[in-house]
Structure 1
Amino acid sequence: MFTAETAHRLLLGQGNWVTLLEIALRATVLFALIICSMRMLGRRVASQYTLFELSVVVTLAGAVGVPLQATERGLLPPVFIMMAVIVLQYAMAKWSVRSPGFETVISGAVSTIIHHGELQLDELKRAALSRERLFAMLRLRQVQHLGQLKKVYLEPSGDLSIVYAESPRPGLSILPKIDSRLREAVAVATEVSCGSCGHTEPDTQQQRNTCINCGDTEWIPAARELDD
């Protein structure tokens, strides 16, 4: 028989109405902690969602997971959590529209990781994005060397926005090292590139000195675009 005690157990489990305020506070604190954690993990984590959207998904998943498996837990607390997250999300979205700086704090800012064919190593380090991972993403865009690129932006979602150079020049090859024959085929005899940042100079005695851009001493033949 459905009684008041049964209704209380169904809605609140072993808690009471006062615990709803504590639950709302916990949801807000955990939501903020998740956003901070996602920011620290880097933008590669959020390749399909923005950090804010991913935080909402994780929070909602955590809210509904326990009541689905524990019969002693009521349904009202996770519903209350979901309502709190939705209200919080709506309020933060409205705030983001009014204050672009707030959106930057939540999701992160756009960063320039390649400028005129040269890697911005500090930005890569700040974004926790390795050169190998970046080169793989560029190869999927049919890029063969950095001289083809004017600027590459790393979006808050982890995607790349590419501005191609109007007049491509030789640059650091991003072809896999296992394909040595292809790398030799695209090598340019008159210019060399810094193996670290991609800074390219004429092939003189300069390659024996340190790179003026990053201070590295490894120089490799610059690459041209492979003809079709």
Structure 2
Amino acid sequence: MTDAAATLHDWVFKGWESIGRVVFVGVLAYIGLLFFLRISGKRTLSKMNAFDLVITVALGSTFSTIIISRQTGLADGLTALALLVTLQYSVAWLSIRWPWFQRVIKSEPTLLFHQGQYLRLALRRERVAEGEVLAAIRSSGAARLEDVTAVVLETDGSFTVIQGVSQDSVTSLQNVQ
């Protein structure tokens, strides 16, 4: 076998030992991840704000590293998963108990469109284009801009479109900047 063919072979198939390691470590890492998620609660995988989203992505990245990387042992990987889950749990716990901590960690929802008017300063500050607001309005099913009371950029980066004018829509804008 030529050097090129050997290299190509290694790129495609490193051997049964490598596949066995992926299966063995993958199953154990999966069980470990399920265990950590179960004891930490549903909030660990929520996407209520940007921090939660980062933790979710980091868990997936760490999980894949455990499975694929030969340099990362199972114990190291499970420790990393436990650390991420513990940090997320701690930040959520602290932000519930101390409002000042929550203000430091989490952003507030931002009003981008209100009663037919784009709030241009808010759009610029949040780096959102009018077209993105229009896309959110279309996605909500609103047929006309006049039907939309407000569009809010939530702390997790999603848009909330409030349709119709009612007492509920005023209440729903209570903690929005």
Which TM class, normalised by the smaller chain length?
A: 0.5 to 0.7
Equivalent residues of 1:154, 1:161 under 8 A apart = no
1:9-28 to structure 2, matched below 5 A, reads none
Structure 2 distance, partners of 1:79, 1:87, is 12
SS at match of 1:150: strand
Aligned equivalent of 1:73 = 72
Structure 2 distance, partners of 1:73, 1:152, is 45
Structure 2 distance, partners of 1:161, 1:51, is 19
Structure 2 distance, partners of 1:139, 1:84, is 41
Deviation at 1:163, TM superposition (A): 4.8
Deviation at 1:119, TM superposition (A): 0.5
1:1-228 to structure 2, matched below 5 A, reads 50-157=49-156, 158-165=158-165
Aligned equivalent of 1:172 = none
Deviation at 1:57, TM superposition (A): 1.6
Q: Deviations over 1:158-212 (max 9, x none)?
A: 131415236xxxxxxxxxxxxxxxxxxxxxxxxxxxxxxxxxxxxxxxxxxxxxx
RMSD across aligned positions (CA): 2.5
Identity of aligned residues (%): 23
Q: Which has the higher strand share?
A: 1
* Count of aligned positions: 120
SS at match of 1:58: helix
Structure 1 distance, partners of 2:59, 2:141, is 38
Normalised TM-score (structure 1): 0.46
Amino acid at match of 2:138: R
Deviation at 1:94, TM superposition (A): 0.8
Structure 2 distance, partners of 1:163, 1:104, is 28
Is there any run of 5+ residues in structure 1 with no aligned partner, and where?
A: 1-47, 167-228
Structure 2 distance, partners of 1:49, 1:117, is 27
Equivalent residues of 1:147, 1:165 under 8 A apart = no
Equivalent residues of 1:113, 1:121 under 8 A apart = yes
Amino acid at match of 2:164: Y
Q: Which has the higher helix share?
A: 2
Bigger CA radius of gyration: 1
Structure 2 distance, partners of 1:140, 1:96, is 32
Amino acid at match of 1:139: R
SS at match of 1:140: helix
Structure 1 distance, partners of 2:59, 2:111, is 33
SS at match of 1:139: helix
SS at match of 2:141: coil
Is there any run of 5+ residues in structure 2 with no aligned partner, and where?
A: 1-46, 167-177
Normalised TM-score (structure 2): 0.57
Relative contact order higher in (CA < 8 Å, ≥ 6 apart): 2
